[in-house]
Structure 1
Amino acid sequence: MDNIFLTDTLSDKELYLSMIGKTTDAILDAFNSSKAYTGPEPEELKKIIHMDSILPEKGIGFDAMFDLVKEKILPNMLRPSSTDYMPHLHSPALIESLSAEQIISAYNQSMDSWDQAPAATEIEVEVTKHLCKLYGYDDNADGVFTSGGSQSNQTAIILARDWFCNEILKHDVKKYGLPENYRKLRMYTSEISHFSMEKSAHILGLGYESVVKLPVDSRKKIDMDAFRKLLEKDIADGNIPFLAVATVGTTDFGSIDPIAEMKEICEKNNMWLHADAAYGSGVILSKEYSCRVADLMLCDSITVDFHKMFLLNISASAVLIKDGKDFDALTIHADYLNREEDEEDGYTNLVGKSLQTTRRFDALKVWTSFLMRGRNGWDEIISTSMKNAQYFHSVLVKDCGFAVVTEPEISSVVFRTVGKDLTGEENDEVNKKIRRILLHKHGIVVGQTISDERVCLKFTLLNPMVTSEKLDGLVSLIKKIAEEIRRAG
């Protein structure tokens, strides 16, 4: 079996170069439209993709296989780098992160032990140190990369639970499992927080009932008076508060919960404060707007996502912990992987901080993009996206044909078209149709969500290449489509 890996032999290098060259050419050829999506609707796409078998008795070789890739897949791929793409917290990928991904895939490092990823391990350690400093933590802090915001949140919730049980309840969860009164444990989070809160509670054996969903105010932030009252009631009922989660950039609205007020409550009640800043963590690099997330340093843990505002390719996330010793809750040693004797001699095995064993070298993407762009470059990227949201909001609120949910704090704008002669339900249907028409007739992908029981459209403006002229044109197009739908009845 010749030429199956990239090695130091000339023939392997030549084959790799040929395959990567053909792949690069095909990708460049497929970027033949400025639209976000030019593929068909679901049923037609299913027919295009379907094959009777993808495992023939005899392989068809690279060229024939890649012809199928060019025929079936590349023309129908989504293009998040298009300025017509704005539905989700799903960013375009900075061009240098594509270079980093090539290194990551070619070397295929596994981030669990030093002897599987020597330089990669040291880079991740270096990057997490700098991230902790960036968010205001001292030298006692630590962090680890994860698959995404959900896993970062889950990691933080596990550490919070173990810290609380060990330090406050004097019960060793790691050794003995959940305490007898575990059904009374409670964590508090916004009613519009990410679903990973409930999912984590389920995985931890606490159940959905342990998650107290706090009402939000008109700005979509946690109602602090309601938080205090619910907390007091839980304590009076014999429940055990152990954690509060501040969302720093809610998924739909980009709203930022009041961290300082939440910290006071947590300190008073011996609770851990976690910040789900998967969205809003990027704001720290904006000179003009960083004050909006300055209180992150008060939190005991922070979720940071780099495949959202930081514009790196999927996946890239991290969880930062104010007291790195709290990672001990996840540490277990195995003779075949992370031997204690090696760690005593200075070999760092990152598996001791991670829910995953095998992990990718995602820290490289942060390292390369931070160095390449610098603070000034990142300030321009982040600030531009936030200013775009402010501009778009200002246009919508002046137009009686639209209703806007709340002023953006980061870069998301949720709104709906409103026909005064239509009922709420009829307007809901108009907004649903607008999204589908934009997608399939114009190649423009926008989001849809619910606010106050009404269907809304959502622009998540992560792409700094979007201009005010572009936004003006989208407003005009949406108004035109809405009017056509209403006339058609």
Structure 2
Amino acid sequence: MRSHLLNDRTAEHYRRSVTEGVERVAAQLVATKSPFSGVTVDALAPRIERIDLDQPLGDTAAVLDELEEVYLRDAVYFHHPRYVAHLNCPVVIPAVLGEAVLSAVNSSLDTWDQSAGGTLIERKLVDWTAGRIGLGPAADGVFTSGGTQSNLQALLLAREEAKPGPDGTVSLDRLRIFASEMSHFSVQKSAKLLGLGPDAVVCVPVDQAKRMRTVSLARELERCRRDGLVPMAVVATAGTTDFGSIDPLPEIAELCARFGAWMHVDAAYGCGLLASPTRRALLTGIERADSVTVDYHKSFFQPVSSSALLVRDAAALRHATYHAEYLNPRRMVAERIPNQVDKSLQTTRRFDALKLWTTLRVMGADGVGQLFDEVCDLAAEGWRMLAADPRYDVVVEPVLSTLVFRYVPAAVTDPAEIDRANLYARKALFASGDAVVAGTKAGGRHYLKFTLLNPETTAADLAAVLDLIAGHAEQYLGESLDRAS
């Protein structure tokens, strides 16, 4: 039986199958009472292992029944108000509509002759985002798979644009990237992929608010120059993964201009501020960047994946350009045929821009920005709650929507034991399925983390999760005391 869309009969099969699937997922979403079932790897793996992929079920309903057993029933549901772990967001309905359309049509955004209007829609959204950032009339960009790819491409452009050292040459082992100790791990990963030396990334200390210390950055840039090294790039973070902190962008821009370094802003998390009706000023200085990473699938409430890299000077994207006669021959440039593959590290690429397009056309930028404002307001309320709760130590007051904290029992003073209690509480909470929180380290100690990206989450949800954490931690400490005696 042919399953692709060729005629009226298969079109009707498509309608029926998709409707059946949507109804099944919708029912599961409504029925979900917790963010996770608590299923273990050992319990779930055998269900999947016993499936023979060479024996198709041949029926949509049967496949959906099986999917409930091996996936839907035990999925981690980001839309649940007590999922407060990683930078995952519930998705807005217009974006889900866009996802359904782009998957069915299946355009590939590498060349014009595979996408037509899709290319122009992506370009329009790139221009819109660059305008929101303030990059100027020569700006351009391309959609990517996520922040890691955007950061990699940005640093590739920075490497190729790096100014020669004192001897007039640029050697990879002399290039240096400066990023705060709170920057995303993809900075180090990108440096390795780009063939830079093991000392290529210089970690700059942060202040009490977890923002890059520009005095320290200036000192490191001076040392770089003094040692005959080349300051290839400075990566400023606008929304660190753990703390949501925003580096001092205007001061970093001044230092980049003085030392001739490429300024990249990783705004994968903080890009929601571009649409915020009240908090846009937090990104002041981003308009001076040479490149910017944005992840719409974080703070624009889009399905994965929906991200982009923006650059101040479109000409810089030439470093990702290669021509193939069977795809994008050089003559197409003269013919002004818009091929997005000329700007991208990817070739075949989904029309992920459509999700953002449908969202903006239904909700508008203010509608998206108001949702992000709501989670930032909730984080501020959560901060006040934690600061007033003697059971918890909270690290910094949030700028965006993350809270890093840990349970600190009054009767226990051993930091290692408190670490173990917090690790246990997180693991036990996940196993229960009642809530999902993240974990990290601060000052060498284990902490827990709320990442708030669900406007449906309330202060009452946060209070309930804090009580659950305390209960699990107390249970661990009680059992630990029993073992010791």
TM-score computed with the length of structure 2 as normaliser: 0.94
Classify 1:306/1:433 alpha carbon distance in 2 versus 1 (closer, same or farther; 3 Å).
same
Q: Does 1:120 align with 2:118?
A: yes
Q: Which of the numbers 224, 238, 257 marks the counterpart of 1:248?
A: 238
1:145 partner letter: F
Partner deviation per Cα, 1:125-175 (whole Å, 9 max, x = no partner): 11111111011122110010000000000111111111124899977xxxx
Classify 1:425/1:183 alpha carbon distance in 2 versus 1 (closer, same or farther; 3 Å).
same
Contact 2:135/2:289 (<8 A) preserved: no
**Gaps spanning 5+ residues in structure 2: where?**
481-485
| Mapping of residues 141-180 of structure 1, within 5 Å | 141-165=139-163, 179=170
SS in 1 for 2:350: coil
Per-residue deviation, 1:290: 1.2
Alignment match, 1:306: 296
Determine the C-alpha separation between the residues in 1 that align with 2:340 and 2:453: 31
Determine the C-alpha separation between the residues in 2 that align with 1:407 and 1:434: 23
Q: Does 1:328 align with 2:318?
A: yes
Determine the C-alpha separation between the residues in 2 that align with 1:300 and 1:348: 23
Q: Which of the numbers 8, 11, 22 marks the counterpart of 1:10?
A: 8
SS in 1 for 2:199: helix
Alignment match, 1:60: 57
Per-residue deviation, 1:439: 1.5
Determine the C-alpha separation between the residues in 2 that align with 1:460 and 1:156: 26
Classify 1:468/1:45 alpha carbon distance in 2 versus 1 (closer, same or farther; 3 Å).
same
1:125 partner letter: R
Classify 1:52/1:289 alpha carbon distance in 2 versus 1 (closer, same or farther; 3 Å).
closer
Q: Does 1:438 align with 2:429?
A: yes
Q: Does 1:130 align with 2:128?
A: yes
Alignment match, 1:293: 283
SS in 1 for 2:59: helix
Once structures 1 and 2 are overlaid, which stretch shifts more, 465-474 or 297-306?
A: 465-474
Q: Which of the numbers 377, 391, 400 marks the counterpart of 1:387?
A: 377
Per-residue deviation, 1:274: 0.3
SS in 2 for 1:443: coil
Alignment match, 2:483: none
Runs of 4 or more consecutive aligned structure 1 residues displaced over 6 Å after TM superposition: 166-171
Determine the C-alpha separation between the residues in 2 that align with 1:302 and 1:28: 36
Per-residue deviation, 1:211: 0.7
Contact 1:198/1:208 (<8 A) preserved: no
Partner deviation per Cα, 1:94-141 (whole Å, 9 max, x = no partner): 111111111111011111100000010010011111111011122110
Q: Does 1:99 align with 2:89?
A: no
Determine the C-alpha separation between the residues in 1 that align with 2:88 and 2:461: 19
Once structures 1 and 2 are overlaid, which stretch shifts more, 59-68 or 286-295?
A: 59-68
Determine the C-alpha separation between the residues in 2 that align with 1:413 and 1:250: 12
SS in 1 for 2:298: coil
Per-residue deviation, 1:396: 0.5
Alignment match, 1:176: none
Alignment match, 1:268: 258
Alignment match, 1:216: 206
Once structures 1 and 2 are overlaid, which stretch shifts more, 31-40 or 354-363?
A: 31-40
Aligned-residue identity in percent: 35
Alignment match, 1:455: 446
Once structures 1 and 2 are overlaid, which stretch shifts more, 340-349 or 219-228?
A: 340-349
Alignment match, 1:482: 473
Q: Which of the numbers 345, 355, 360 marks the counterpart of 2:350?
A: 360
Partner deviation per Cα, 1:47-73 (whole Å, 9 max, x = no partner): 2222263224xx331344333212222
Determine the C-alpha separation between the residues in 2 that align with 1:151 and 1:18: 37
Contact 1:3/1:11 (<8 A) preserved: no
Per-residue deviation, 1:268: 0.8
Classify 1:168/1:375 alpha carbon distance in 2 versus 1 (closer, same or farther; 3 Å).
farther
Q: Does 1:204 align with 2:205?
A: no
Contact 1:306/1:316 (<8 A) preserved: yes
Determine the C-alpha separation between the residues in 2 that align with 1:195 and 1:89: 15
Determine the C-alpha separation between the residues in 2 that align with 1:313 and 1:170: 46
Q: Does 1:465 align with 2:442?
A: no
Determine the C-alpha separation between the residues in 2 that align with 1:138 and 1:205: 31
Determine the C-alpha separation between the residues in 1 that align with 2:463 and 2:216: 39
Determine the C-alpha separation between the residues in 1 that align with 2:164 and 2:350: 32
Determine the C-alpha separation between the residues in 2 that align with 1:106 and 1:470: 37
Number of aligned residue pairs: give it. 477
Classify 1:72/1:205 alpha carbon distance in 2 versus 1 (closer, same or farther; 3 Å).
same
Per-residue deviation, 1:347: 1.8
Classify 1:150/1:10 alpha carbon distance in 2 versus 1 (closer, same or farther; 3 Å).
same
Once structures 1 and 2 are overlaid, which stretch shifts more, 384-393 or 341-350?
A: 341-350
1:62 partner letter: D
Per-residue deviation, 1:246: 0.1
Per-residue deviation, 1:215: 1.3
Partner deviation per Cα, 1:396-429 (whole Å, 9 max, x = no partner): 0112211111111110000000013321011111
| Mapping of residues 7-86 of structure 1, within 5 Å | 7=6, 9-31=7-29, 32-51=31-50, 53-56=52-55, 59-63=56-60, 64-86=62-84
2:291 partner letter: S
Alignment match, 2:138: 140
Determine the C-alpha separation between the residues in 2 that align with 1:164 and 1:480: 54
Determine the C-alpha separation between the residues in 1 that align with 2:136 and 2:166: 24
